Amino acid sequence: MMFVGLGICVVALAGAAEAMTPATPQDQQAAADHSQTVYVGTIALFPTMVELPDDYDESETYTLVVGLHGHGGRPIDFFEPPARLFREAGLIYAVPQGPYAYLPTNRIGYSWNLRDIDDRVAERGDDVTIRYILDVIESLRERYSVGEVYLMGFSQGGTFTYYTAIAHHDLFAGLATFGSRLNEERFSPQELAAANHLRAFVAGGTSDLGAQPVRARYLLTEAGFDVELYEFDGGHTITRAGMEEFIDWLKR
């Protein structure tokens, strides 16, 4: 009975589809006039991958590094293999998932904003993402024995590292970016100067023309930051040597 009923439904749908005529330009315009896409702020649960130090002891405090993956990336891509390096260094390493899923290639990736999806709500979406990152850190503080917090990101994740750590500099000890451009229009000189107590690690490949790490160092240094610049021969990527250099800098 179930298969017969399914067959009848398929035939009926197929018949209906064959009877439909293509929409005219007038029909399409009428649909556009009456159809809208709205974005609703709501509560959702997103995964965050966490690596604890060897011999983690709740009676002690540990530096927390929160890593933000790049545009179209996944938490697992930014978690392995760096997690082992952080664990062996005695640090807590956490990688949350970007809130917006999309299909850039043959697998689902995640973005930190809506700029490639709908520019009309891009700025509002940025603010929601920053709030989400802060919520992740607050949750990790409640769950683990956290001391200082560093925010780190690659590419788009580095952009939101700048956005979040500079705007909420009282919550962080420092920031680190890999292959990320510092948006000069985002912050005024006064806003940058207010955050100059943050330690800053800026990294990028010499052939990564979009990242401009030297320019970021200049802007931050002008605002009074103490900046560590790490450049390497290469493009838009993170090297193991660069991650090891960052961890060494972190522990100084």
Instruction: Please provide the DSSP assignment of 234-245 as one string.
Output: SSSS--HHHHHH
Q: Is residue 16 scored above 50 in pLDDT?
A: no
Average pLDDT over residues 104-132: 82
- The count of residues in the chain is 252
Give the pLDDT band (50/70/90) at residue 1.
very low
Average pLDDT along the chain? 87
Q: Name the E strands within the chain.
A: 48-51, 62-68, 92-96, 100-102, 109-111, 146-154, 174-178, 199-205, 226-232
Residue where the block lists tokens 């062996």: 88
CB 109 within 8 A of CB 74: yes
Q: Is residue 178 scored above 70 in pLDDT?
A: yes
Q: Is residue 36 scored above 60 in pLDDT?
A: yes
Provide the pLDDT for residue 17: 44
Phi-psi region of 78 (alpha: psi -120 to 50; beta: other; left: phi over 0): alpha
Q: pLDDT for 196-226, tens place per residue?
A: 999 999 999 999 988 999 999 999 999 999 9
Provide the pLDDT for residue 76: 95
Label the pairing between strands 199-205 and 109-111.
unpaired
Query: Which helix (H) or strand (E) is 129 found in, with range?
Result: helix 122-143
Provide the pLDDT for residue 7: 35
Provide the pLDDT for residue 10: 34
Average pLDDT over residues 33-42: 76
- Where are the domain boundaries for CATH 3.40.50.1820 in the chain? 49-250
Q: Is residue 56 scored above 80 in pLDDT?
A: yes
The terminus-to-terminus CA distance of the chain in angstroms comes to 72
CA atoms within 13 A on the CB side of 221: 11
Instruction: Find residue 174's DSSP bridge partners.
Output: 150, 199
Q: Can you give the pTM of this predicted structure?
A: 0.84
Average pLDDT over residues 10-21: 43
Instruction: For domain 49-250, give the CATH number.
Output: 3.40.50.1820
Look at 2-11, 155-164, 237-246 and tell me which has the smallest mean pLDDT.
Answer: 2-11
Give the pLDDT band (50/70/90) at residue 132.
very high
Give me 88's structure tokens. 């062996």
- The contacts found for 215-223 with CB under 8 angstroms, 24 or more apart, are 215/181, 215/182, 216/177, 216/180, 216/181, 216/182, 219/182, 219/184, 219/192, 220/182, 220/192, 220/196, 222/189, 223/189, 223/192, 223/193, 223/195, 223/196
Give the pLDDT band (50/70/90) at residue 103.
confident
